[in-house]
Amino acid sequence: MTESILFFFEVLVGGLLSGTMYSLVALGFVLIYKASATFNFAQGAMVFFAVLSFVGFMEYGIPFAVAFVMTVFLMILVGMLTERLVLRPLMNQSEDTVLMATIGLGFVLEGLAQAKWGVEVRKLSLGIGDFPIPWIADNLKLFISALDLTAGAVALGMIVLLTLLFKYTKIGLGLRAVADDPGAASSIGIPLKHIMLLVWSAAGVVALVAGMMWGARAGVQFALIELALKALPVLIIGGFSSIPGAIVGGLLVGAVEKILEVYIGPFFKGGIEAWAPYMISILFLLYRPEGLFGEKIIRRV
Amino acid sequence: MKPVFMRYTKNDIINFIVLLVLGFLVIPNVIKSDYWYTSILIPWLCLTIAALGQNIVMGYTGQLSLGAAGFMCAGAYACYNLMLRIQDMPFLGALILSGLIAAGLGIIFGLPSLRIRGIYLMVATLASQFFIVWVVDKFGWFKNYDLSGATTFQKIDINGIPFHSGYMMYLLVAAIVVVITILAINMARGSTGRNWMAVRDMDIAAESMGVTLLKTKLQAFAINAFLCGIAGALYTYTYLKTVEPFAAFNISLSFKIMFMAIIGGLGTISGAFIGAAFILLFPVVLNAVGNNLFHGMIDATIISSIEQIVFGGLIITLMIFEPLGFAKLWETIKSKFRPKSQTS
């Protein structure tokens, strides 16, 4: 009896921890949506691009910290180019047009990353162990690795940081104003271009961090993009414009898909994880389209 | 220009006859190599059908959908099982039935479109992609318990005539494409198409003008899935022949079909043909250039990366400069060469 309860908690915790990984990807998405009301389909590709470049730099023998800074600058450059070449020409276009352009952007980034660094799976070692911490395993009977804890802590740190940024700084206020009404915001002197640049660079850095966590767990490889696609249901469940929503959505998706996989998966030869998040998101869309924490969508003629 | 016959202008009929002569007289007599039929013309025509479906739901009705490969998978395996399990099942009958089965699935997965749009809808349609392929792969019945995990599709015979060679299969697929294209043009130009476009341009306004959203959207999803189902069945029967569901109907096929619709031209019928040709031929040309001009000095990774960069870059460029795609570009070029008085 206790055995099975313990096992359930093990599965649950495992799911929650892997869910923080989805949250990290989703965060970058929310960041851009909150500041520019743009759905950035390329966020997954940015994760892949960032971490692949980071690993590539390290392979040249560049030390960890320097490679990190270099990748941050690279992502800022990507943000700048995106703003200049993709978003500015599409400024007053419909949501769907911009969305399709970001799908194109995703393909460009994937292609560039692969052209430069190749397709083989790479290992990324952050010096953080991905094995159960003995103390927790002995005392609580839960298998949690240092990497899990780090990912959780990083996710938590980012929410706090981003929430503070959006709520209490002048930049954050500007970001929210631009998302609400770009025209009105620019007419009162908020520099649209700088705001966009800032947001896309920040999203690039968030993508790098998310990619590093993913890479340390699953290796740096193309499959990351399909994993990153799962950030979309996470966003729908949490609400596109909510930072806490990205976290809660990620945890929920992680936990539910693991529980389904472990308890129901064996009856169907597994693989439920591949579609479960999307099905959950459909349920949410039918009953609560704005997500758990999102703002209600009101459309006018 | 005045319509000559029903909704067709004189130009339409001339174009149509030229294409028919090209497709059924010139190509079969000029092209002898089997490679052209089996590796280029057949997949092109099959994917054109899928791109037409994608264009109806995305270009005409304005609903972003990313599940084409899922419906193709459904169509392919529906056709396989109909042929396998029902004695003396005619191939064309099975083909239409499998399209209808896919259409049923399309209606189910199109239901969320009544409440959501844009990226929300795209995520919902992704569910169809992953779920359908998973069901087909995990339940052995669909694959007739083949232990290898792959399925070898039957050979096509219609009324005792074997359609086994590339040449014969090309004629079959081309004939089906002709029928489907005529149907699609009729729908797009009639009241159905006008309803679709009204919903695309402003669904709330369309609704207040008396267009039933429920019927219009689900109709578009059903037709999309129907066409994708038929495309999937033809694609597997005439091109792939042996299929492993997860490998053949993955998300990148869905992306490809979406790109065909976008690059060819959203909201145009000819765009599906142009887009499918471009997406399919560009890698072939790129490979040929890589192998012949540079003698294999460029490795395959780089070539496939260039392909991705070009597709992605092209989408961005088209979104910025010509959201109506290649079909519109073609029209623009044509009108430049036309005498002024004729431009309509």
Task: Quote the tokens at residue A87.
Answer: 């978003």
Query: What is the rounded CA–CA span in Å between residue A243 and residue B108?
Result: 32
Neighbours of A57 (CB within 10 A): 20
- Identify the closest residue of chain A to B63 by CA–CA distance: A96
Q: Inform me whether the C-beta atom of residue A279 falls under 8 Å from chain B C-beta atoms.
A: yes
Q: What is the mean pLDDT of residues B194-218?
A: 91
Whether residue B42 sits in one domain with residue B1: no
How much is the average pLDDT of B126-143? Answer: 90
Q: How far, in Å, CA of A12 to CA of A20, rounded?
A: 13
**pLDDT above 60 (res A1):** no
Mean pLDDT confidence for B255-277: 93
Weakest-pLDDT range from A212-226, B33-47, B191-205: A212-226
Tell me: pLDDT of B140 over 90: no
| Whether residue B9 is found in the same domain as residue B64 | no
The pLDDT-based confidence of B1 (bands split at 50, 70, 90) is: very low
Q: Is A108–B124 a contact, with Cβ atoms under 8 angstroms apart?
A: no
Q: Given an 8 Å threshold on Cβ–Cβ distance, is B119 in contact with A41?
A: yes
Q: What is the mean pLDDT of residues A281-297?
A: 79
What letter does residue A85 receive in the DSSP assignment? Answer: I
Q: What is the average pLDDT across B281-298? A: 81
| Domain shared by B306 and B325, yes or no | yes
Chain A residues 203-232 within an 8 A CB cutoff of chain B: 226, 229, 232
Predicted pLDDT of residue B344: 46
Average pLDDT taken over every residue of chain B: 89
In terms of pLDDT, which residue wins out, B121 or B48? B48
Residues B262 and B306 both lie in one domain: yes
Query: B161 at the A interface (CB within 8 A)?
Result: no
CB-based contact B120 A289, cutoff 8 Å: yes
Strand, helix or coil at A122? Answer: strand
Which residue range is the domain that position B242 belongs to? 31-342
pLDDT of residue A300 exceeding 60: no
Q: What is the pLDDT of residue B180?
A: 95
For residues B11 and B147, state if they share a domain: no
Q: Do B17 and B62 share a domain, yes or no?
A: no
pLDDT in tens, A7-60: 888 888 888 888 888 888 898 888 888 877 788 899 999 999 999 999 999 989
Q: Of A10-24, A208-222, B25-39, B270-284, where does the model show the most confidence?
A: B270-284
Would you state the pLDDT for residue A298? 64
CATH number at residue B55: 1.10.3470
Q: What is the pLDDT of residues A134-170, one digit of tens each?
A: 777 677 666 777 887 888 888 888 888 888 888 888 8
A111–B312 CB contact, under 8 Å = yes
| Domain identity same for B147 and B119 | yes
Reported ipTM: 0.88
Is residue B308 less than 8 Å (CB to CB) from chain A? yes
**How far, in whole angstroms, is CA A18 from its chain's centroid?**
12
Q: Is A105 on the interface with B (CB under 8 A)?
A: yes
Residues of chain A neighbouring B314 (CB-CB closer than 8 A) = 104
- pLDDT at position A65 is 92
- Cβ of B118 within 8 Å of Cβ of A236? The answer is no
Q: What is the DSSP letter of A1?
A: -
User: Would you put residue A38 in left (φ > 0), alpha (ψ -120 to 50) or beta?
Assistant: beta
**B56 and B8 together in one domain:** no
Asked if A89's CB is within 8 angstroms of B315's CB, the reply is: no
CB-based contact B316 A108, cutoff 8 Å: yes
How many domains are contained in chain B? 2
**Do B36 and B142 belong together in one domain?**
yes
pLDDT at B223: 96
| B38 and B14 part of one domain | no
B74 and B108 co-located in one domain: yes
Q: What is the pLDDT of residues B300-329, one digit of tens each?
A: 788 889 999 999 999 999 999 988 888 888
B71-103, pLDDT tens digit by residue?
999 999 999 999 999 988 899 999 999 999 999
Query: A62-71, A144-153, B17-26, B274-283: lowest mean pLDDT where?
Result: A144-153
Put simply, the answer to whether A278 touches B127 (Cβ < 8 Å) is: yes
> What does pTM read for this prediction?
0.90
Query: Which of B309, B317, B322, B324 is most worth mutating to test chain A (most A CB atoms within 10 A of its CB)?
Result: B309
State pLDDT tens for residues B164-191: 888 999 999 999 999 999 999 999 988 8
Chain A residue numbers with beta carbons less than 8 Å from the beta carbon of B302 are 115
Do B9 and B145 lie in one domain? The reply is no
Q: Is the pLDDT of residue B114 over 90?
A: no
By CA distance, what is A106's nearest residue in B?
B312
